[in-house]
Amino acid sequence: MTSAHAEAAASKWRPIAIGGVVILLALFPLAGSAFYVELVAKVMILAIFALSLDLLVGYTGLVSFGHAAFFGIGAYTLGLLSPKYEAANFWVTLPAAMLFAGLAAFVVGLFVVRVKGIYFIMVTLAFAQMFYFVFHDTKFGRGSDGISMNFKPVAAIGSFMPFDLGNASHVYYCVLVLLVAAFAFLQVMLRSSFGRALQGIRSNEHRMRSLGFPVYKYKLASFTLAGALAGLAGYLSALQFGFVNPELLSWHQSGNVLLMLILGGFGSLYGAVVGAFAFVALTEIFQALTRHWQLLLGAAIIVLVIFLPGGIASVAGRFRRTHVGEGNDA
């Protein structure tokens, strides 16, 4: 009961908080230095990536450990479609990246959605590794060095040029708009009957099946959609940095995006965005401290899991509960 009240109170303030964050992000390039504008753009790209995984983990109940595959496919789409001596077109390559990533997710989904729980984790990891080898070992993917793009894509529609992707703050706003669009799309989608059905599957798959829902198709659709959104994030990442390599598909990348979700808390959308910021802040701090920052990151993850089940986001909830007098969470 009390948590329902807290939930209601929180949801009243949530739109205002989200609006405030969007305004702050929109104003940031006016104040921040070039370095931080690029860094925040990178964080927002990761936030789109984390949002796409939240659809699977937080709303469909599918813990994927291979989500980087679709991020990488989106990135490689730009790399492979970019001509050597001229710029690619943004309006062609962006949908293509989402299409190819979505298509790959659909094909992988045909196999992985059939299995559950721990099998799902292992099988998604294995398929992601397969894609890693496709790009790492074949001529098609140009091997372990990847592809470096000579030109940024152009956003020309005929002779009209709405924005310039060679300009870092234009890239920033482009990413911000796409992040807001992805967030809004998921928000609306999750309130539709399709989104409700996904959440039903997450809480009780058997019941949804006996109610006559085609669970397999719903999960496959969710997996495909999440793949396409991850492809969008990968595309933007390739656009920002100007090169792609197989490490974009590595299992570290899949692990890191799961970590973002845990840091921010899954199943809330905004948690994914918070998690992306927390993750980058954490790695930046650790990298500033020591060359062996992965040791600190690893130790931090272990401590986080043991002492804070439910992520950083749960701290606020816990704090509230103890004060209301619900007692501690046993």
Partner 1 sequence: MHPTSRAWDDADAMDLYTFLIQLLNGVQYGLLLFLVASGLTLIFGIMGIINLAHGSFYMVGAYMAFTLSSLTGNLFVAIIVGIVLSVLLGIVLEWALMSHLYKRDHLEQVLLTYGLILVFEELRSIIVGNDVHGVAVPAILGNSIPLTDTLSYPVYRLFMSGVCLVLAGLLYLLIHRTRVGMMIRAGASNREMVSALGLNINLVYRLVFALGVALAAFAGMIAAPVSSVYPGMGTQVLIICFVVVVIGGIGSIWGALCAALLIGLADTFGKILVPEAAGITVYLLMAAILLWRPEGMFKRVGG
Binding to partner 1 by residue 65, rule CB under 8 A?
Answer: yes
Q: Cα 21 to the chain's mean position, in Å?
A: 18
Using CB atoms within 10 Å of the CB of residue 101, give its burial: 0 to 12 exposed, 13 to 18 middle, 19+ buried.
buried
Cβ 169 to partner 1, closest distance in Å?
34
The residue among 218 and 235 lying less far from partner 1, judged by its C-beta, is 218
Region 129-148 residues binding partner 1, contact defined as CB under 8 A: 129-130, 133-134, 136-138
Residue labelled with tokens 């294995």: 126
Binding to partner 1 by residue 312, rule CB under 8 A?
Answer: no
State the binding string over 203-242 for partner 1 (x if CB under 8 A, else -): ----------------------------------------
Alpha-carbon span 6 to 2, nearest angstrom: 6
Residues 111, 123 contacting (CB under 8 angstroms): yes
Among 177, 309, 316, 319, binds partner 1 (CB under 8 A): 309
Region 110-129 residues binding partner 1, contact defined as CB under 8 A: 111-112, 114-115, 117-119, 121-123, 125-127, 129
Closest CA to 61 of 204, 224, 261: 204
Stretch that binds partner 1, among 44-52, 156-164, 176-184, 251-259 (CB under 8 A): 251-259
The residue among 301 and 312 lying less far from partner 1, judged by its C-beta, is 301
Residues 112, 124 contacting (CB under 8 angstroms): yes
Tell me if residue 277 falls in helix, strand or coil: helix
Alpha-carbon span 196 to 59, nearest angstrom: 9
Cβ 125 to partner 1, closest distance in Å?
6
Alpha-carbon span 320 to 307, nearest angstrom: 18
Residues 308, 263 contacting (CB under 8 angstroms): no
Those residues with Cβ within 8 angstroms of residue 3's Cβ, 6 or more apart along the chain or in another chain: 317, 321, 326
Residues 231, 97 contacting (CB under 8 angstroms): yes
The residue among 119 and 185 lying less far from partner 1, judged by its C-beta, is 119
Alpha-carbon span 35 to 138, nearest angstrom: 35
Binding to partner 1 by residue 63, rule CB under 8 A?
Answer: yes
Binding to partner 1 by residue 103, rule CB under 8 A?
Answer: no
DSSP 87: P
Residues 222, 59 contacting (CB under 8 angstroms): yes
Q: CA angle, corner 81, sides to 79 and 86, nearest 5?
A: 95
Among 143, 251, 287, 321, binds partner 1 (CB under 8 A): 251
Residues 206, 72 contacting (CB under 8 angstroms): no
Binding to partner 1 by residue 157, rule CB under 8 A?
Answer: no
Cβ 290 to partner 1, closest distance in Å?
10
The residue among 111 and 319 lying less far from partner 1, judged by its C-beta, is 111
**How many chain residues touch partner 1 (CB under 8 A)?**
41
The residue among 128 and 232 lying less far from partner 1, judged by its C-beta, is 128
Binding to partner 1 by residue 288, rule CB under 8 A?
Answer: no
The residue among 108 and 239 lying less far from partner 1, judged by its C-beta, is 108
154 DSSP β-pair partners: 89
Among 19, 162, 166, 298, binds partner 1 (CB under 8 A): 298
CA atoms lying within 13 Å on the CB side of residue 59? 29
The residue among 241 and 286 lying less far from partner 1, judged by its C-beta, is 286
Residues near partner 1, by CB under 8 A:
57, 63, 65, 111-112, 114-115, 117-119, 121-123, 125-127, 129-130, 133-134, 136-138, 251, 255, 258-259, 262, 292, 294-295, 297-302, 304-306, 309
